């Protein structure tokens, strides 16, 4: 690295929505902003979570000085336990609510070390970490206690916006600190790392209070049960729903492990105000008439084992829906989840419930800034260089165009990919290198042990099934001890003329190999695989996974 320069390496969050993680390096010290995860797409069969590839950080573990968390959403903090498994980080910084959510997460993983966890506040004086002087700016978002991160470096001031929007009427009254942003602009900003999620959307993002007003219009008119599904971290959304429930005399039942946990944390820390006598447990709902029930539940993304999905498919032990009930899905499907959400809506409608979602009612607003707000941010900070982050490439490109429109030269804007090494110096912003970056799959208790080969195998199994051929040889003379057995799963009907033909073909191949003195097990397996596979393709145009098993008895 050149003197008085700083390097920015995004390991996640560029060209995608989720797993946000950015490493900022200066004078041999690294500060990590956010440690997020993403949820698997349809092609990630059997995968539970998706993490950034941590190879770059693992190789530089001794240089990592701190992890700073901008807010408590999973795509910004969910990967922290897996990062702390890989390396010992001296300090983890987060605001009060974010820290509460993170402590619970680390405790589940057996990684809770309070000495590492440092609470921060937007009004704190700057803190020094190695060559960095770090301060924070309060930002409004769809979860309380969000901050932008300001890093004073030898290469100039870097502002990482985190996720944000300009909500002039937030539920907790804590607006984005426009005054502080303007001060930073006056002092000079060398680089803005800006959230791009809604950069394509024109105008301004509506206030969170719009959803509360919709709840006040909708809920008093309904006679049956009310179910409200949202992200488990959306504390203000849940608080608004509970406030309306109290005003119309409904009891509230919180269903879904993550939502119950987050409500407890938010209440204990003072971010939610819910009287004890309002909350009931799921079994207690049987004693209440439907018009006195409100159910807050997880499942707004159609997750297979979530509360709302189980309710939709009549698989929940305590809760069901019927005609006259109303279900409010107060969230937008994350890209890739649309089909699952639609399936859940169809099942709820089939049961007789009225389903309200953002396409037909104002029951959701985004937590991210739209184009007009991004223009405002750029005009406040007046950055010399801009690097769009947190979004797919089309979103980053839209953000870059907004920066150009605001007068930032095209040469001072970098649209990077995960793993791109971007260097900030007094001469400007330049791409100088590339490091290993990609994805790590979490499957059950295994982290990183599922690779593309395994996913391809799962893809084949899901599409064409599997055929197991069991051939038995006599150990004494190497002859066949009987015709091969075939076990078919996932293609055909597992019996009938095709399976008989395949069994005959497997027997023919086996006898031919033995007649030619081919008795080595690997060779027998290869012949059975290739020739039976060709017959299946000729008859069905399918290529199931074929597993020949040769047993000596």
Matching residue, tokens 């750029």: 378
The dihedrals phi and psi of 276, each to the nearest 5 degrees, come to -60, -35
For the question of residue 44 being annotated catalytic, the response is no
Is residue 183 a contact partner of residue 157, using CB atoms and an 8 Å limit?
no
CA distances to 210, 282, 291, 294, 331 from 250, in Å: 21, 14, 7, 6, 22
The dihedrals phi and psi of 35, each to the nearest 5 degrees, come to -145, 80
C-alpha–C-alpha distance, residues 195 and 199, integer Å = 8
Q: Catalytic residue among 167, 177, 195, 325, which?
A: 195
C-alpha–C-alpha distance, residues 544 and 533, integer Å = 8
Instruction: List the beta strands (DSSP E) in 400-456.
Output: 420-425, 428-434, 439-443, 446-447
Reference 236, options 256, 215, 208, 205; nearest CA is: 208
Could you tell me where the DSSP H helices lie in 80-145?
A: 80-86, 96-108
DSSP line for 476-499: TT--B-SPPEEEEESSTTSSSHHH
Is residue 383 a contact partner of residue 190, using CB atoms and an 8 Å limit?
yes
C-alpha–C-alpha distance, residues 423 and 338, integer Å = 38
Residue 495 C-beta-side C-alpha neighbours within 13 Å = 0
Q: Can you read off the two tokens belonging to residue 191?
A: 């680089």
Is residue 407 a contact partner of residue 33, using CB atoms and an 8 Å limit?
no
Measure CA of the first residue to CA of the last residue in the chain; give whole Å.
66
CA distances to 19, 37, 59, 443 from 75, in Å: 5, 5, 23, 18
Could you tell me where the DSSP H helices lie in 175-292?
A: 178-187, 209-218, 235-247, 257-268
Q: Catalytic residue among 76, 236, 357, 368, which?
A: 368
Residue environment code for 304-324, b if the CB has 16+ CB neighbours within 10 A, otherwise e: eebbbbbbbeeebeebbbeee
SS (H, E, C) 17-31: CCCCEEEEEECCEEE
Instruction: List the beta strands (DSSP E) in 340-463.
Output: 354-356, 385-389, 420-425, 428-434, 439-443, 446-447
C-alpha–C-alpha distance, residues 416 and 16, integer Å = 12
Reference 362, options 141, 209, 234, 210; nearest CA is: 210
Residue environment code for 208-229, b if the CB has 16+ CB neighbours within 10 A, otherwise e: bbebbebbeebbeebebbbbbb
Reference 229, options 87, 325, 372; nearest CA is: 325
Matching residue, tokens 């890739």: 336
For the question of residue 368 being annotated catalytic, the response is yes
List residues with catalytic annotation. Answer: 195, 368
């Amino acid at each position: 690295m050149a003197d008085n320069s700083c390097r920015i390496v995004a390991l996640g969050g560029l060209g995608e929505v989720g797993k946000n993680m950015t490493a900022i390096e200066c004078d041999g010290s690294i500060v990590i902003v956010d440690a997020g995860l993403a949820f698997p797409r349809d092609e990630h069969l059997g995968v539970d979570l998706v993490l950034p590839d941590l190879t770059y950080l693992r190789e530089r573990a001794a240089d990592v000085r701190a992890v700073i968390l901008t807010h408590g959403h999973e795509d910004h903090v969910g990967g922290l336990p897996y990062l702390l498994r890989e390396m010992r980080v001296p300090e983890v910084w987060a605001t009060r609510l974010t820290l509460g959510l993170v402590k619970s997460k680390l405790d589940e993983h057996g990684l809770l070390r309070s000495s590492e966890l440092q609470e921060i506040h937007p009004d704190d004086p700057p803190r020094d970490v190695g060559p960095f002087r770090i301060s924070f700016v309060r930002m409004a978002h769809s979860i309380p206690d969000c901050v932008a991160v300001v890093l004073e470096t030898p290469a100039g001031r870097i502002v990482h916006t985190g996720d944000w929007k300009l909500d002039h009427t937030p539920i907790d009254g804590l607006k984005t600190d426009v005054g502080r942003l303007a001060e930073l602009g006056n002092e000079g900003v060398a680089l803005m790392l800006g959230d791009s999620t809604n950069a394509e959307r024109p105008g301004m993002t509506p206030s969170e209070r719009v959803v509360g007003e919709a709840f006040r219009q909708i809920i008093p008119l309904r006679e049956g049960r009310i179910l409200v599904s949202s992200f488990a971290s959306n504390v203000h959304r849940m608080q608004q729903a509970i406030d309306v429930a109290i005003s119309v005399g409904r009891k509230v039942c919180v269903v879904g492990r993550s939502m119950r946990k987050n409500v407890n944390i938010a209440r204990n820390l003072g971010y939610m105000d819910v009287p004890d006598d309002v909350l009931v447990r799921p079994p207690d709902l049987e004693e209440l008439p439907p018009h006195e029930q409100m159910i807050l539940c997880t499942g707004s993304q159609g997750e297979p084992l979530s509360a709302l999905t189980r309710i939709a498919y009549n698989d929940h032990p305590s809760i069901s829906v019927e005609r006259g009930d109303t279900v409010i899905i107060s969230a937008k499907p994350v890209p890739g989840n649309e089909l699952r959400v639609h399936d859940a809506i169809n099942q709820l409608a089939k049961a007789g419930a009225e389903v309200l979602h953002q396409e037909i009612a104002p029951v959701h607003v985004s937590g991210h800034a739209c184009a007009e707000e991004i223009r405002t941010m750029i005009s406040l900070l007046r950055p010399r260089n801009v690097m769009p982050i947190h979004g797919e490439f089309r979103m980053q490109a839209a953000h870059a165009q907004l920066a150009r429109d605001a007068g930032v030269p095209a040469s001072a804007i970098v649209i990077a990919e995960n793993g791109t090494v971007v260097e900030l110096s007094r001469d400007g912003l330049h791409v100088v290198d590339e490091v290993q970056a990609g994805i790590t799959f979490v499957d059950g208790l295994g982290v990183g042990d599922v690779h593309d080969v395994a996913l391809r195998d799962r893809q084949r199994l899901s599409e064409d099934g599997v055929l197991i051929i069991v051939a038995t040889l006599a150990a004494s003379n190497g002859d066949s001890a009987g015709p091969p057995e075939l076990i078919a799963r996932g293609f055909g009907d597992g019996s009938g003329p095709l399976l008989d033909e395949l069994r005959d073909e497997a027997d023919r191949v086996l006898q031919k190999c033995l007649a030619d003195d081919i008795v080595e097990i690997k060779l027998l397996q290869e012949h059975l695989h290739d020739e039976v596979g060709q017959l299946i393709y000729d008859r069905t145009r399918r290529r199931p996974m074929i597993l020949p098993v040769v047993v000596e008895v």
